[in-house]
Amino acid sequence: MSSVMQGARPSASKITRLKISLLLCCWGVLSAVPVPAAELMLPQVYSDQVDVSGWLMSEKLDGVRGYWNGRQLLSKNGKVFSPPAAFVRNLPPFPVEGELWGGRSTFEQTASIVMQKQPHDGWLQLKFAIFDVPQAPGGFTARLAKASDWFAAHPSTYAFVIPQLPVLDQTQLQEELQRIGKLDGEGLVVRRPDAFYTAGRSPEILKVKNYQDAEATVVAHLPGKERNKGRLGSLLVALADGTQFKIGSGFTDAERESPPPIGAVVTFKFYGKYQSGIPKFPSHMRIKRDQFFSSP
């Protein structure tokens, strides 16, 4: 327990949040035996040295990656999700890949919904935002057309194909990135329209962000002052190379009441580094996603 929390009687909401955190950390152990995970196509990080004119772009949705194999909905590591029948009704008999998404800045809520082992109506707050058809032939545009054709004939309340916008030039790309950022979006994904589906990190699919992100391990909870007195002020974290620094922003009130536990790996965003190697303007984003959905 953090020193911030010592001596305080936990509220009912705090206890509930702690229970959710424990469930999220243990879900990989408690869930059903995974089916073989699909070999997924993963993005690399965009560099402005790459000319993406003529590519397709879409918003990078801040959700949980999902893989529908034609019968079951799986995590990227092959864990079987348990959505209610209504959520998967009218999904196609062929594999589609996408993001389980509850809206911008809702990753924690989405994770708490999908990690439960029994079907429940919380799923009906989410959408399955589809961005690829892995086993379809041809390039990206042709593959995605197969999903679009399916849902045109079989509309779904809980699934949609993510719209793709042609990239005219670097200026338009940056303008769209700024627009998404003002809406609290995570960034963009750009893809070559003729790219075939290949497993692993591909230079033909790139994630574009206004910031960099990285991971660090929580070393200590540092107490807050003024409005944060009696709860978390900042996290002391360490990078893989041992560099330590504080993360004091990006937390919700609930996260300050029940912060990521010591030893947890957190994802944070930053804007370059000082000569010392310390990230500039670090801001908390979330507990590392793979801690929620990794195989035991």
25, two tokens: 């950390």
6, two tokens: 């010592």
Edge-to-edge strands, sheet with 41-45: 41-45, 200-208, 188-191, 56-59, 165-166
Q: Which domain holds residue 250?
A: 211-293
Strand partners, 246: 236
Q: What is the pLDDT at residue 38?
A: 64
Tell me if 244 sits within 8 A of 237, measured CB to CB: yes
Q: What is the pLDDT at residue 24?
A: 44
**Catalytic residue annotation:** 60
Q: Which of 192, 208, 224 is the last residue of a domain?
A: 208
Q: What is the pLDDT at residue 271?
A: 76
Task: Please name the helix (run of DSSP H) or strand (run of DSSP E) that holds residue 217, with its range, or none.
Answer: strand 212-223
Amino acid identity for residue 174 in this structure? Q
Give the confidence band of 30 by pLDDT, cuts at 50, 70, 90: very low
Same domain, 77 and 199: yes
* Termini Cα distance of the chain: 25
170, two tokens: 């670097």
Backbone angles phi, psi at 32, to 5 degrees: -65, 160
**How many folded domains does the chain comprise?**
2
DSSP code of residue 119: -
Q: Which residues of 263-287 are buried (b: 16+ CB within 10 A; e: fewer)?
A: ebbbbbbbeeeeeeeebeebbbbbb
Q: Tens of pLDDT along 228-242?
A: 999 999 999 999 999
Q: Mean pLDDT score of the chain, rounded to an integer?
A: 85
Instruction: Please give the average per-residue pLDDT across 261-280, as a whole number.
Output: 88
Same domain, 74 and 135: yes
Determine how β-strand 188-191 pairs with β-strand 96-101.
Answer: unpaired
Residue 87's CB is within 10 A of a number of other CB atoms, namely 23
Same domain, 161 and 91: yes
Which comes out higher in pLDDT, residue 36 or 256?
256
Strand partners, 287: 266
36: pLDDT strictly greater than 60: no
Q: Which of 157, 182, 208 is the last residue of a domain?
A: 208
126: pLDDT strictly greater than 90: yes
Q: Tens of pLDDT along 137-170?
A: 999 999 999 999 999 999 999 999 999 999 999 9
Separation CA 78–CA 33 (nearest Å): 9
Question: Has residue 22 been placed in a domain?
Answer: no
Same domain, 58 and 95: yes
Same domain, 193 and 227: no
Same domain, 47 and 121: yes
Instruction: Please give the average per-residue pLDDT across 54-68, as a whole number.
Output: 94
Same domain, 272 and 171: no
